[in-house]
Structure 1
Amino acid sequence: MNTPAITGTGVFTPSEVITNAELVAAFNAYVDLFNAENADEIAAGTVAAKEYSSEDFIFKASGIQQRYVIDKTGVLDPKVMHPLLRQRSDDEPSLMAEMGVKAAQNALAQAGKSAKDVDLVICAASNMERAYPAVAIEIQQQLGISGFAFDMNVACSSATFGIQAAADMVRSGSIGGALVINPEICSAHLEWRDRDCHFIFGDVATATLIETAQAATGPYFEIKSTRCATEFSNNIRNNNGYLRRSRPAGMVDRRDMQFMQNGRKVFKEVLPMVSDHIAAHMADGGVQAADLKRLWLHQANKTMNDFIGKKVLGRTPEPSEQPNILQDYANTSSAGSIIAFSKYSGDLEDGDRGLICSFGAGYSVGSVLVERHA
């Protein structure tokens, strides 16, 4: 049996940024428009008036200060309130593939590897740009990789589930190397007109290269074990499924066709599920809380991460033990824990252990125990 290892990671970050101040200004302008257009119904009590958002509200609710997006123009237009993504022709690269390729190239460069070292591409993300052909196969073609590729969707846990699938295949010897790529265009399935969630998401793409430990040409993280679990819940959902580019005239404006969540139930039900999952994974791996040098958690909400970190370690984690990127990137679904890992793992020493964990809709939770080899 081979020993699977993470030999490289890469992040592609869009160039456009929306600060909380910009977002609040746009949202509140939309509120003014809505309330003016529906003044009679609001007065009659048949339509509820929209409430303003604020920077304090956003930061206290999430810990987010800004987010990167593919397009900010449409999001910040009070009459549009969604990204304006150009419909590409069939002979052009898809947007997800374009982002994924850039992240993958960064991961390959960090590992000192090339396309010939990869046998499998998994595109694991919360929403796919199309049903078929698989975006993963398009990325495979653009990178010049032989072998095979497929798409995977486990919402916010897609990256860790993809890592487990790739690690298992590397361990068995059916492949030598795999790229798990997470292109997340979360801005396209967020309802920017909903005060309760308009601040949550951002866009990004990440990539993780998984090979045998023997193939590593530099420092790497041995994948000691992985664990995945799912339990059905409808409390986080998106009934539409694919990226929205525009809202055509005459389109029925169904709220449930974009991201929705019952936040209170999610907090109540997901937090113990994740904490128990990590505790059981560590126990089965013979890992004590004192053995963990770092937690790279899903970046959805700072309060959730603080709770989980305290339960896992038995105390409040130091910032260096549980790094957050949420304040800069916002929630980037499956990519969040990989951004944190990519940016805050290079300083660990030989033999240091850590845990990558993502969780979300499904419910789903995936965890990866790793050990640094310098």
Structure 2
Amino acid sequence: MIARSLIAGCGASLPPRVVTNDDLAKTVETNDEWITRRTGIRQRHIADEGMLTSHLATEAAQAALKDAAERSGVAPEDIGFVIVATTTPDNIFPATAVRVQAALGVGGFAFDVQAVCSGFVYALSIADNFIKNGQAKAGLVIGADTLSRIVDWQDRGTCVLFADGAGAVVLSATDKDNPRGILSTHLYSDGSFYDLLYVDGGPSSTESSGKIRMNGREVYRHAVQRMSEVTQEALEKNGMTPAELDWLVPHQANLRIMEACAERLSFPIEKVATAVTHHANTSAATIPLALAEMASDGRLKEGDMVIAPALGGGLTWGAAAFRW
């Protein structure tokens, strides 16, 4: 009997071009000390012209499929769906996910999810339910964004934060005897805070795709509060205390946000993933990128208990609790 879905493999993709804080200081009024002190970010990856969200998503998915085959015996022909969480699709339609599906040569169904920086957690929750309901025995969940395309490079308050990348996981069905897998997901939104973080364009309102606009102080406040609350909710749902958690893998928006969340939860910062320093904020890609990095360098071990909270424009927020 299917009890839950298991993260069977993971993969990542980053554009080769690295832009440091000193590089940004050449084009906008800022400096490395200011960016590092306020955000913890030291560098970011930026896609070159012609590199699309689907390219990054496909590369991350290929790496995840390879990892799943080697680690869990899940084959590409087992994949029953592809879900891409993205704010920056290749086109308004069709979904970027169908382009990725075609590139991978897998079957089933494919669609995009738009919940901005919470997108991966939303997509993971949807995928977990598909598998628990028996609609597929395995599937791909991808977070991918090219936020550099919608950044205002003259706005030093936002252009230093955002970057490009993709991360992917393969989910597969597992039975009740397996303690590993996704234990719970928790999703929320509140549209009354729409104007705190948004893009000032779109096909229904303007002829331009627009640029990112953010009330940084208020987004910071909500991120700390909501991500801490939803992490605590996930712990309580699974009858755990912070001491029983091996890793907190939050959305990588700002190091100060993550440090504040850890402090609220009385959780050691040494057990908080901090890929933001070298990835910056890649929106829906931050959590799967961090997971792939941690799995690759050996920090994330089989059986580790993980909670991954996120907050994004909308406002949307949520968390996933799983045993690796």
State TM-score, norm by structure 2. 0.90
Q: Which residue, out of 294, 303, 308, partners 1:356?
A: 308
| 1:194 pairs with one of 133, 147, 155 | 155
Asked if 1:180 is matched to 2:141, the reply is yes
The structure 2 residue matched to 1:60, chosen from 14, 19, 37, is 37
1:97 alignment counterpart: 54
SS in 2 for 1:287: coil
Pairing 1:227–2:199 present: no
Q: Which amino acid aligns with 1:261?
A: M
Unaligned runs of 5+ in 2: none
Q: Which moved more, 1:104-113 or 1:278-287?
A: 278-287
The residue identity in structure 2 corresponding to 1:333 is S
1:347/1:212 Cα in 2 relative to 1: closer, same or farther (>3 Å)?
Answer: same
> Relative to 1, partners in 2 of residues 1:142 and 1:350: Cα closer, same or farther, differing over 3 Å?
closer
* Residue identity opposite 2:40 in structure 1: G
* 3-state SS, counterpart of residue 272 of structure 1: helix
Paired position in structure 2 for 1:141? 102
Q: Secondary structure at the match of 1:197?
A: helix
Q: Is contact 1:128-1:241 (8 Å) kept?
A: no
Could you give the per-residue CA deviations for residues 230-273 of structure 1, whole angstroms, max 9, x where no partner exists? 1111200013248xxxxxxxx99x9x920010011112233212
Q: In the TM superposition, what are the counterparts of 1:194-213 in structure 2 within 5 Å?
A: 194-213=155-174
Contact 1:100 1:206 in 2 (8 A): yes
Q: After the TM superposition, which of the residue ranges 283-292 and 153-162 deviates more from structure 2?
A: 283-292
Give the Cα–Cα distance (whole angstroms) in 2 for the partners of residues 287 and 16 of structure 1.
41
- TM-score normalised over the length of structure 1: 0.79
- Distance in structure 2 (CA, Å) of the matches to 1:309 and 1:350: 23
Aligned mates of 2:11, 2:180 — CA distance in 1: 15
* Structure 1 equivalent of residue 243 of structure 2: 290
Alpha-carbon distance in structure 2 between the residues aligned to 1:168 and 1:331: 27
Contact 2:121/2:320 (<8 A) preserved: yes
Q: Give, in angstroms, the shift of residue 303 of structure 1.
A: 0.5
How many percent of aligned residue pairs carry the same amino acid?
Answer: 27
Q: Name 1:132's counterpart in structure 2.
A: 93
Deviation at 1:220, TM superposition (A): 9.9
Q: Which structure 1 residue ranges, 5 or more long, are not aligned?
A: 28-51, 72-84, 87-93, 243-250
Q: Report whether the alignment pairs 1:277 with 2:230.
A: yes
The alignment yields a C-alpha RMSD, in angstroms, of 2.1
Partner residue of 1:340? 290
User: CA contact under 8 A between 2:53 and 2:88: conserved in structure 1?
Assistant: no
Residue 165 of structure 1: aligned partner? 126
Give yes or no for contact 1:186–1:201 (8 Å, CA) kept in 2: yes
CA contact (8 A) 2:223 2:257 kept: no
Give runs of ≥4 in structure 1 deviating > 4 Å.
Answer: none
